[in-house]
Every structure is written in structure tokens, then in C-alpha cells.
Amino acid sequence: MNTPTPSYSPLQSGQAIVEALLTLVILSLVLTAVAWLGRYQDIALQASHASRYAAFATARAEPPVFNSIWHSYFLGPSHRWSDRRGQRLLNNERQLDVEVNRERELVPWAQPGQMAANAQDLREQWSVADEGMVDAHISVAFSPNQMQEASKVSAFAAGLRDFDAAYPTLTRHTSILTDAGHASSAEHAQRHVRESTRAWSNASNDSYRLAKQIQTVMNPVDAGWGRTGPNVDWLDAWTDAVPDHHRQNGEQP
């Protein structure tokens, strides 16, 4: 049995080549677009990191240094972004703008204690008074590149030509609440209490004075019994006292 040989029309000659070229053009555009978007997203990620650093540095009362942000997040071997022609995307520090400011502080009704008597004094002395959130803005601008005229490039090159245009300006920001009355240690917390005249000093000073008067009278009496004198340090004695629910496996602090 003879198998019939398929016949091809002359109009189909070279069709596979045309399809392959068309597919190659599309794949080239897709790969170029992926690289274009990847660079943009990477720069955006670094801008987000930079805004977080600026906000947290301000929260720690360490204002961020512009040169530190520029060199740490936008320069260096891992930040050498370039366009399709190999030209650096970020090569001038004027392309970076860093702005850190504070928003309007909350009204007293929205703060701890609200409008209660002495609430404002206690908020300020315990460092819980709202002073406005820190808002750190990072903007990255891109300079437009020299582009060829459309009349001098092929249709394929005209498609790639769109990727030579400047990236849109990037803007990232981070907001953070500062001075929330937190303490880095037990000693720091006790210092907050001790320095508050309204909550501690005004009352404790009178107690200290009375305790010293009692010591003058009672120390000779207690000495005969070998008793130690009263301790008027009512804050430092609690430095190592940790509530049970904060201990792990019942271990002592």
C-alpha cells in the first residue's frame, strides 16, 4: 500500500521561517520587558529600605545622613543598575531626594489620659505625649536617555526603543510612631519614674525626709538588736524583679 505524499502549496514556502522570526521578536520584547521591570522593582525595594532606615534613625534621635543613604542603598557593586545600552541609571546623587518630617500631633482627647487633671504633665514626664509621627520620604528620579528618531530605526528596534525612555520617578515612604514611653531596660524604666515630678518626686521627697528623721531616732535602738537600717532606695531595689509570667521555665532573672 503506497502512502500518498503530502503536497505543499508554493504560497506556504518560507512560512516556518516567518513564524520563527515573529516568535523570536516577541520573545525578545518579553525578555527585555522582564529585565526592564526587574531593575525598576529592585530600585523600588532599595528605596523602601532607605525610607525605613531614615524613619527608624529619626526615631532613635539619630537623624539619617544623606551620604549614608546614597552610598548604602543606591551605590556599590550590588546596585549598579544600567539600561539596555549599559548606561548607569543612577550616577548622580542629585537624583535622590530624602525628606523626613513630623505629622501633626494628636489632640489631647486622642492621647493617654485625655483631658484628665495633670494628664498633660504625666504624658510629658513619662515620654508618652504624642509629638507627631515621623514620616520619611525617599524619591528617586531618572534622567531621560538619548533616543534615536523613529525614522532611523527598524520596526523591531522601534519596539525596543520604548524601553530606553526614563523610568517613572519612584517615591517610597515610611511612617513610624516615636516617643511612645518605651524603655530599653529596667533601669531605663525606673529613670522615667524617678524623673517624673508629678508621679514620683513630689511625693517621694517628703517620704525621704520623714524616713531620714525616723532613722536618726531608731538607728540607735535597732543597733542593739543587730538590725539593718531602713532602705530608702525604693526604686533600684526592684531592678531585678521580673513578673513570673515573663520568666522562661521558672528560671530566676
Average pLDDT, the chain: 76
Residue 86: per-residue pLDDT: 76
Asked if the model's pLDDT at residue 5 lies above 70, the reply is no
pLDDT, tens digit (0-9, with 9 covering 90-100), for 15-28: 777 777 777 777 77
Q: Where are the alpha helices (DSSP H) in the chain?
A: 15-59, 66-73, 119-125, 155-161, 186-194, 202-223
pLDDT digits (tens, 9 = 90+) for 207-235: 888 888 887 877 777 777 777 766 777 77
44 pLDDT exceeds 90? Answer: yes
Least confident of 2-16, 151-165, 172-186: 151-165
**pLDDT exceeding 90 applies to what percent of the chain?**
14
> What confidence tens digit (pLDDT) does each residue in 89-102 have?
888 888 999 999 88
Which residues pair with residue 173 across a beta bridge?
A: 137
| Residue 137 CB contacts under 8 Å (≥ 6 apart), including other chains | 51, 97, 98, 99, 100, 171, 172, 173
* pLDDT value for 99: 92
Q: What is the mean pLDDT of residues 123-137?
A: 81
Q: Is residue 1 pLDDT above 70, yes or no?
A: no
**Mean pLDDT confidence for 121-135:** 79
